[in-house]
Amino acid sequence: MNRTLIVVKPDCVGKGMIGEVLKRFEVKGFKVISLRMLHMNREMAEAFYSVHREKSFFDELVRFITSGPVVAAVLEGREAITVVRSMIGSTDSVKAAPGTIRGDLALGLTDNCIHASDSEESFDREFKVIFG
């Protein structure tokens, strides 16, 4: 069994879609190991997105993720990172396939409803930022 981290972003939390997002993973067979609702401050957000620090969109990511509450969850299941990334869809929600979380629940690029770890290294770093 593998683990991964998802973060339901402020746009999705604001639309009342937390349950819908978590339900999709539970129906697929993932187990929710840890769950936390929080409002990231700038320091947390900068650490969370540290791999993007030198990119032009870094400030936009930080500004958006700190704009409202988020819900973070650690999911456990077979090939968790790969399967969850497939379930969430393309980063640009407009290009995300129907049936994916972003394809069904979002229209934005930064405000794209959900984040999911893209590797074991990302999971380790992101988990420490969110859960300490």
- So which residues are the catalytic ones? 115
**Cα dihedral value 98, 102, 107, 109, nearest 10:** -130
**2-8 sheet: strands from edge to edge:** 31-38, 70-77, 2-8, 114-116
* Helix (H) / strand (E) containing 43: helix 42-48
CB contact at 8 A, 7 and 77: no
> Sign of dihedral through CA atoms 3, 131, 100, 82?
negative
* Helix (H) / strand (E) containing 116: strand 114-116
